């Protein structure tokens, strides 16, 4: 029925968080709302109810809205494989592999998928909260844009612009971005939101007054910096750590160049008995080394070897340490990784770390599924999802790690030191979290209910938006935009419940 778009002056200005918060605010009011990200570039992804793949942050926004994630919510997902090329996913399914120039020429076709997905959502929900990507003022990318103002113009929707004051220069960000937009784009930009403010608001108010006078646009709110807020990241590896009661299990994760779904580790970052770090060089001693998912398994495996991780892992195991591989990291634990068709980069075959007797071959047709089951030999429940091209075979699979009903997953070495799985989200369920940490060597392991944490964080976020944004003005903006199309029930948008 109507769409409001949140755009940012820069990447990581807070667009994803703002959309999640607004979705939860509208859900509280009983409004049928869905998130929408026309184009996303991210290696953190989720499996949808219709068997597609979307960005992880969009799936979180769907949870905030109280709806099931669907591939229409993120119709174009770009998963970088090299510095110049990416896998292109349209409406949840792999379309192909393109370099930057080829994709730029492909945008007209991509726009058709974007508009079709948006129209499908508009048939199912009263309000769409759309999220831009990067900045709308990227001059070199404006032609054929589908991620920011290109979509806003096509959908004829109002835009709110978010700036991050914590980085400094927020007034230059907002005024400069606005100045680089066309007349029609400036007109549809209805106001500003300042994010991540620390300090006394009285000291900021003269600047806000100047900004409104200079641009003739209202500042609809200044959001405080939310210490300790941990929500599924779109792509960048965050640094938020919960305050630890004790740190009895040290876990390190190599920060692979093409690391994917590092949100797998968010429950461990919250766990009071775990210290988790993403590591480049040097490689410190640890109790557990976890090899994460990768969008380019072979090239990331080669990087690991160049950085000396193979020798470090051998030494780590010799002294009784544990190793866990997840998805691409699981594939690296085997004897060979073969990608004859170049599905994840250059075609070729590379020797694995040789820690589990299995081989992996990359084959067309990505495995996308949500699964649930138990840890083998225990009653601990696990819930997760699979996103991978590779098919693994070998004797190691006769000692699986999980039983997920439709199939057995993963492997564990005879001595119990090396484990691997294709399941992402394996620590999210509290029972699996506790049981896996016990297997990894944590005595008297507690558990973290990450899904409950997500809900608490979303509620905290919505409370903050309610307190610091002019929600009435935002609802009026949505209502006025709707009235120009097909009216919503006015009480749904204006009633404060």
Neighbours of 435 (CB within 10 A): 21
Is 433 part of the annotated catalytic residue set?
Answer: no
Q: Which of 70, 97, 262, 424 is catalytic?
A: 424
Query: What sign results for the dihedral spanned by CA atoms 411, 413, 414, 416?
Result: negative
Q: Which of 23, 157, 327, 433 is catalytic?
A: 327
Is 424 part of the annotated catalytic residue set?
Answer: yes
| Cis, peptide link before residue 334, omega less than 30° from 0 | no
Q: Catalytic residue numbers? A: 327, 424
């Amino acid at each position: 029925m109507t769409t409001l778009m949140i755009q940012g002056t820069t990447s990581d200005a807070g667009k994803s968080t703002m959309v999640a918060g607004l979705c939860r605010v509208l859900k509280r009011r009983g409004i049928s709302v869905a998130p929408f990200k026309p184009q996303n570039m991210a290696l953190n992804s989720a499996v949808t109810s219709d068997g597609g793949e979307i960005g992880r942050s969009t799936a979180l926004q769907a949870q905030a809205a109280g709806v099931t994630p669907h591939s229409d919510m993120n119709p174009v997902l770009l998963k970088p494989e090299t510095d110049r090329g990416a896998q292109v996913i349209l409406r949840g399914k792999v379309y192909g592999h393109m370099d930057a120039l080829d994709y730029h020429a492909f945008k007209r076709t991509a726009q058709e998928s974007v508009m079709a997905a948006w129209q499908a959502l508009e048939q199912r929900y009263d309000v769409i909260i759309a999220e831009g990507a990067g900045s709308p003022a990227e001059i070199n990318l404006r032609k054929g844009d589908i991620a920011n103002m290109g979509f806003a113009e096509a959908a004829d929707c109002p835009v709110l612009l978010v700036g991050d004051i914590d980085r400094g220069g927020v007034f230059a960000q907002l005024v400069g971005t606005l100045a680089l937009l066309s007349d029609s784009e400036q007109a549809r930009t209805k106001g500003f939101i300042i994010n991540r403010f620390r300090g006394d608001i009285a000291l900021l108010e003269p600047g806000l007054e100047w900004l409104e006078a200079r641009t003739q646009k209202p500042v609809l709110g200044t959001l405080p910096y939310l210490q300790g807020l941990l929500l599924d990241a779109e792509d960048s590896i965050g640094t938020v750590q919960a305050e630890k009661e004790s740190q009895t299990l040290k876990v390190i994760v190599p920060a692979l160049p093409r690391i994917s779904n590092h949100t797998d580790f968010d429950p461990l970052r919250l766990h009071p008995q775990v210290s988790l770090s993403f590591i480049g060089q040097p490689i410190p001693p640890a109790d557990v080394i976890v090899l994460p998912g990768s969008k380019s398994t072979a090239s990331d495996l080669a990087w690991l070897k160049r950085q000396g991780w193979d020798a470090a892992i051998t030494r780590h195991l010799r002294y009784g340490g544990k190793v866990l591989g997840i998805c691409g990291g699981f594939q690296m634990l085997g004897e060979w990784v073969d990608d004859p068709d170049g599905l994840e980069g250059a075609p070729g075959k590379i020797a694995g770390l040789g820690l589990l007797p299995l081989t992996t071959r990359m084959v067309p047709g990505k495995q996308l599924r949500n699964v649930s089951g138990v840890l083998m030999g225990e009653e601990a429940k696990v819930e997760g999802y699979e996103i991978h091209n590779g098919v693994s075979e070998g004797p190691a699979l006769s000692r699986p790690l999980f039983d997920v009903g439709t199939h057995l997953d993963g492997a564990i070495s005879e001595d119990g030191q090396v484990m691997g799985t294709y399941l992402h989200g394996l620590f999210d369920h509290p029972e699996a979290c506790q049981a896996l940490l016990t297997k990894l060597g944590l005595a008297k392991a507690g558990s973290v209910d990450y899904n409950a944490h997500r809900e608490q964080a979303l509620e905290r976020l919505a409370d903050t938006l309610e307190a610091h944004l002019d929600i009435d003005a935002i609802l009026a903006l949505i209502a006025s935009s709707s009235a120009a199309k097909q009216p919503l029930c006015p009480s749904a948008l204006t009633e404060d419940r």
